Structure 1
Amino acid sequence: MPRKTAVLEQPQVSNLVRELRQLMALSQEQFAARLGVAYSTINRWENGHMQPSPLALKQIKAVLNEMNHSPMAEVQERSQKLLDKYFPEAEPS
């Protein structure tokens, strides 16, 4: 059975992008650079005007998984909460 890609609807996507960006303490411009997308793309995601592509969602999930291995317990905890909330099918890492 092929693995299903997570499909998030608005306002979940807006919330996920905003919460992750805030957890990383990045501006929209900085977060865009981190994901390799334009600032306007992040802005549209957060404002609910556009959905991230499946590839972009995969990148966002990868960033969360990375943060889940942070030496800071609070970052680990908050990133795990976001994974559980927005990617409930995610396997524990």
Structure 2
Amino acid sequence: MSVKRPLVMNQPQIGQLVRELRLLVGLTQEQFAAHLGVTCGSINRWENGRSEPLPLAQQQIWQCIEQMGDRGEELLQKYLAN
């Protein structure tokens, strides 16, 4: 898995991936936003399909997924296999 890998999926899938990742690591939207260095509103918009993460935020999301090891790989398989 590469940290700079772009999120190549449709908007609803990105939002679902972000939400599931956040819940797996046990963070609120506010906590996850602080972890990524974005606003809580950004997390909310991503999860609700109103916008998608910018490239820098995508890299940070990939880093979170990589740090999860096998759980992160399973999450990617779930969303990238579709």
Q: CA deviation at 1:6?
A: 3.4
Distance 1:19 1:4, change over 3 A: closer
Task: Report what 1:36 is aligned to.
Answer: 37
Identity of aligned residues (%): 51
Change (3 A) 1:12 1:38: same
Higher helix residue share: 2
Give the 3 Å change call, closer, same or farther, for CA 4–38 of structure 1 in structure 2: closer
Detail structure 1 runs of 4+ shifted over 4 Å in the superposition.
Answer: none
Gaps of 5+ in 1: 69-75, 89-93
Secondary structure (helix, strand or coil) at the match of 1:11 reads helix
Unaligned runs of 5+ in 2: none
Q: 1:61 touches 1:83 (CA, 8 Å); kept in 2?
A: no
RCO comparison, higher one (Cα < 8 Å, 6+): 2
Aligned-residue CA RMSD in angstroms?
A: 2.0
Q: What is the number of equivalent residue pairs in this alignment?
A: 78
Give the Cα separation in 2 of the matches to 1:32 and 1:47: 15
Q: Secondary structure at the match of 1:50?
A: coil
Task: Flag the structure with larger Rg.
Answer: 1
Kindly tell me: are residues 64 and 4 of structure 1, through their superposed partners in 2, closer, same or farther at Cα, counting changes over 3 Å? closer
